[in-house]
């Protein structure tokens, strides 16, 4: 961006009434720009941060910025909760970041069957409001993350076996198009855009609110069970048995091996959303020994309580990121994965504040079947492809001087896992969008047919290509 272009920005922004526009050095700017999930986003310095509080203000911003962004004079970032960790996902150096966290509101319909959620909300605030009415929604498993990026990336909830991806419970999007026009997209009106936004990220417009189906907030039995590190193979074997054979659709699990501050452990986060204590479907995990009993948290509680528990497992503003691949379940391959993770760990565990996890999250056939029944989404995973495992690699560390070797080592690890799975014919095209790494070609992983449809939707609703040319963050449509 040239100096001339930078000087033109204020004149563009002056036409936007009552929207907070902040610059470096101001309290509003510093508070916003230092509040991302990862240090890598905090370290970017936009020229201006715009903080709209209404959909109308978002419209005004897009109307004023659209031409300049499309022509390359201004680069724009769209921020929801700001939890995607890689630099540039929701922030932009020397450009304009639109921070949507002022778009608040959790409005329950009169019949209580649906709830409209502002794009700036977090799941904790949504669950807190709905709990007053004995309701909830199939949203994030971690309460403190933002609503927008989670839903636009697909999202997994603890109800996913029964309801599909979290985005499959969105029955309507309110979205500002590149023209500045505010429209609604649902199964009857702009259905192509509705489907595209379920996994399509920020490629088609700026979503200002989401309307979701509500469900009853019943008692849930679950929590986290910790095991000694030697139990990994047993946990793995039982997880593979679970994804191939379990028929109880009120279950949800996440398994992982983890390292932190010199110690290793294995864990299984598990829930029975029907509230049955230690149900037969989960006894394959609760019976594994030896457990680290003083750390286990199994109990009966509400949805909000469990999501608040997982919120405590991460901290904002530190050096952290995710990388992911998706594979068909195979015990021998997963054992190899674990061995490769251990080898990578040995190379970088001396980094200050280092924490490292290797997790796997099931996509069961029931989840994929119920996703398809909900009307379809951009990911377009056929139920016949299931079951699948989403592999999550998550390093956390303290010092910038360790960046290069950690990125290099973890990148090589993920490449090696992908190569192993490819050789065995067990790699799936899909990369779980919410855990994807910045270099991944995520949208291509949705399959050729879906990519063609997404391109058509882009041409239809963003004919000048503002959200491809001017909004660089997130994962763009393949060219």
Quick one: 88 and 189 in the same domain? no
Quick one: 378 and 242 in the same domain? yes
Is-contact 476 219, C-beta < 8 A? no
3-class SS at 270? strand
91 is written with which tokens? Answer: 């922030």
- Domain containing 121 equals 106-216+448-461
350 Cβ contact partners less than 8 Å away, ≥ 6 residues apart? none
Let me know if residue 113 belongs to a domain: yes
3-class SS at 397? strand
Is-contact 263 283, C-beta < 8 A? no
The count of structural domains within the chain is 3
Helix, strand, coil % (nearest 5) of the chain? 40, 25, 40
- Tell me the β-bridge partners of 115: 108, 212
Distance CA 78, CA 98 (A): 5
Let me know if residue 467 belongs to a domain: no
276 is written with which tokens? Answer: 């049955």
Quick one: 232 and 368 in the same domain? yes
Give the pLDDT confidence score for residue 3 in this predicted structure.
41
Quick one: 94 and 131 in the same domain? no
How far from the centroid of its chain's Cα atoms is residue 419's Cα?
25
Quick one: 201 and 294 in the same domain? no
Let me know if residue 127 belongs to a domain: yes
Is-contact 386 368, C-beta < 8 A? yes
Let me know if residue 189 belongs to a domain: yes
Give the position of tokens 């593979």: 240
Quick one: 234 and 246 in the same domain? yes
Last residue of a domain, which of 67, 99, 131? 99
Last residue of a domain, which of 99, 127, 150? 99
Q: What is the CATH number of the domain that holds 69?
A: 3.30.465.10
Let me know if residue 476 belongs to a domain: no
Distance CA 198, CA 150 (A): 10
Distance CA 279, CA 288 (A): 14
Quick one: 354 and 401 in the same domain? yes
Counted residue by residue, the chain has a size of: 479
Under DSSP, the state recorded for 429 is S
Quick one: 202 and 227 in the same domain? no
Count of CA atoms in the C-beta half-sphere (13 A) of 213? 14
Helix (H) or strand (E) holding 326: strand 323-327
341 Cβ contact partners less than 8 Å away, ≥ 6 residues apart? 257, 356, 358, 393, 413
Quick one: 56 and 86 in the same domain? yes
Last residue of a domain, which of 99, 122, 143? 99
DSSP letter string, 20-56: EEE-TTSHHHHHHHT-SSBHHHHT---SEEEE--SHH
Dihedral (C-alpha) 282, 283, 285, 289: value to the nearest 10 degrees? 160
Under DSSP, the state recorded for 439 is T
Q: Please, what is the Cα angle at 377 between 441 and 201, to 5 degrees?
A: 50
Strands (DSSP E) contained in 104-169 are: 106-108, 114-118, 135-136
Let me know if residue 1 belongs to a domain: no
Quick one: 179 and 225 in the same domain? no
Quick one: 288 and 348 in the same domain? yes
Distance CA 344, CA 377 (A): 35
Let me know if residue 169 belongs to a domain: yes
3-class SS at 384? helix
Distance CA 93, CA 395 (A): 24
| pLDDT by 10s per residue, the chain, length 479 | 444 344 456 666 666 667 899 999 999 999 999 999 999 999 999 999 999 999 999 999 999 999 999 998 999 999 999 999 999 999 999 999 999 999 999 999 999 999 999 999 999 999 999 999 999 999 999 999 999 999 999 999 999 999 999 999 999 999 999 999 999 999 999 999 999 999 999 999 999 999 999 999 999 999 999 999 999 999 999 999 999 999 999 999 999 999 998 999 999 999 999 999 999 999 999 999 999 999 999 999 999 999 999 999 999 999 999 999 999 999 999 999 999 999 999 999 999 999 999 999 999 999 999 999 999 999 999 999 999 999 999 999 999 999 999 999 999 999 999 999 999 999 999 999 999 999 999 999 999 999 999 999 999 999 999 999 999 899 999 98
Quick one: 148 and 230 in the same domain? no
Let me know if residue 339 belongs to a domain: yes
Helix count and strand count (H, E) for the chain: 16, 20
Sign (positive/negative) of CA torsion 311, 317, 320, 325? Answer: positive
Q: What is the CATH number of the domain that holds 270?
A: 3.40.462.20
């Amino acid at each position: 961006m040239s100096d001339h272009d930078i000087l033109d920005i204020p004149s563009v922004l002056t036409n936007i009434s009552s929207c907070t526009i902040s610059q470096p050095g101001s309290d509003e700017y510093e508070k916003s720009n230092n509040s991302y999930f990862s240090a890598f986003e905090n370290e970017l310095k936009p020229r201006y941060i715009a903080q709209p509080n209404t959909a109308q203000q978002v419209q005004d911003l897009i109307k004023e910025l659209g031409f300049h962004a499309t022509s390359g004079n201004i680069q724009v970032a769209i921020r929801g909760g700001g939890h995607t960790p890689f630099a540039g996902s929701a922030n932009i150096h020397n450009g304009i970041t639109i921070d949507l966290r002022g778009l608040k509101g959790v409005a329950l319909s009169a019949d209580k069957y649906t709830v409209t959620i502002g794009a700036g909300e977090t799941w904790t605030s949504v669950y807190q409001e709905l709990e007053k009415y004995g309701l909830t929604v199939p949203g994030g498993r971690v309460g403190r993350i933002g609503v927008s990026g989670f839903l636009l990336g697909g999202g997994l909830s603890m109800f996913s076996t029964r309801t599909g991806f979290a985005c499959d419970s969105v029955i309507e999007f309110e979205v500002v198009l590149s023209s500045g026009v505010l429209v609604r997209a649902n199964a009857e009106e702009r259905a192509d855009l509705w489907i595209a936004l379920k996994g399509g990220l920020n490629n088609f417009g700026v979503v200002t609110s989401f309307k979701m189906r509500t469900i009853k907030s019943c008692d849930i039995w679950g929590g986290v069970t910790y095991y000694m590190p030697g139990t990994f193979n047993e946990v793995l074997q039982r997880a593979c048995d679970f994804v191939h054979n379990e028929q109880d659709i009120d279950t949800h699990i996440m398994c992982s091996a983890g390292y932190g501050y010199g110690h290793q452990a294995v864990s299984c986060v598990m829930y029975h959303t029907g509230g049955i204590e230690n149900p037969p479907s989960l006894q394959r995990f609760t019976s594994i020994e030896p457990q680290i009993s003083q750390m286990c948290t199994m109990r009966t509680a509400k949805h909000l309580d469990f999501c608040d528990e997982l919120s405590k497992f991460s901290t904002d503003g530190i050096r952290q990121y995710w990388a992911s691949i998706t594979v068909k379940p195979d015990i021998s391959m997963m054992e190899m994965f674990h061995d490769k993770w251990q080898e990578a760990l040995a190379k970088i565990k001396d980094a200050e504040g280092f924490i490292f996890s290797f997790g796997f999250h099931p996509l069961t056939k029931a989840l994929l079947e119920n996703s398809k029944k909900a009307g379809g989404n951009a990911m377009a995973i056929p139920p016949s492809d299931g079951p699948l495992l989403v592999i999550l690699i998550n390093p956390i560390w303290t010092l910038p001087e360790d960046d290069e070797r950690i990125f290099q080592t973890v990148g090589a690890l993920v490449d090696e896992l992908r190569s192993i799975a490819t050789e065995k014919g067990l790699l799936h095209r899909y990369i779980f969008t919410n855990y994807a790494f910045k270099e991944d070609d995520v949208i291509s992983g949705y399959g050729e047919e879906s990519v063609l449809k997404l391109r058509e939707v882009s041409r239809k609703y963003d004919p000048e290509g503002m959200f491809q040319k001017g909004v660089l963050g997130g994962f763009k449509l393949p060219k």
